[in-house]
């Protein structure tokens, strides 16, 4: 079974060059672990406002990568933590998000390595 590709660099290709794409992907890979830690901390503290804010921030970053399935999960987390104030629902959405996020990191790391190889 083929691995699901969780991102698309189509939007980034509008930047015009591989170096710019590499910078954006590297920035995402360098900063996303902190976002995940912050999200986990907010959940452990049962801080729905912080969960909403972190999900919203991450949704923007993932939308830029056209990680549509992950954006959809974050939208559900936003609704659950914002309008619905339902921490239990947030907690049920997280395992799938974290699973996809881990896979996305692997895929992006491969893409970065590929870009670096192409650029020499």
Locus of tokens 């974290």: 98
Q: Is residue 116 part of a domain?
A: no
Q: Return the number of other C-beta atoms located less than 10 Å from residue 27's C-beta.
A: 11
Provide φ and ψ at 57, rounded to 5°.
-65, -45
Q: Is residue 102 part of a domain?
A: yes
Q: Is residue 32 part of a domain?
A: yes
Q: Is residue 86 part of a domain?
A: yes
Q: Is residue 117 part of a domain?
A: no
Say how many domains are in the chain. Answer: 1
Nearest 10 degrees: Cα torsion 26, 29, 30, 34? 160
Q: Is residue 84 part of a domain?
A: yes
Cα–Cα distances (Å) from 60 to 2, 68, 86, in that order, read 27, 11, 22
Q: Is residue 120 part of a domain?
A: no
Along the 120 residues of the chain, how does pLDDT read in single tens digits?
A: 567 888 888 777 777 788 989 999 999 999 999 999 999 999 999 999 999 999 999 999 999 999 999 999 999 999 999 999 999 999 999 999 999 999 999 999 999 999 999 988
Domain that holds residue 26: 18-109
pTM: 0.89
Q: pLDDT at position 1, please?
A: 56
CATH number at residue 53: 1.20.120.160
Locus of tokens 């192409």: 118
């Amino acid at each position: 079974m083929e691995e699901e590709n969780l991102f698309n660099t189509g939007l980034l290709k509008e930047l015009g060059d591989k170096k710019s794409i590499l910078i954006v992907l590297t920035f995402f890979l360098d900063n996303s672990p902190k976002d995940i830690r912050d999200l986990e901390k907010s959940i452990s503290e049962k801080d729905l406002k912080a969960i909403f804010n972190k999900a919203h921030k991450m949704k923007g970053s993932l939308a830029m990568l056209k990680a549509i399935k992950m954006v959809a999960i974050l939208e559900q987390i936003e609704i659950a933590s914002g309008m619905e104030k339902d921490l239990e629902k947030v907690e049920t959405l997280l395992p799938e998000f974290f699973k996809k996020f881990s896979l996305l990191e692997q895929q992006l790391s491969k893409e970065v390595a590929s870009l670096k190889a192409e650029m020499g």
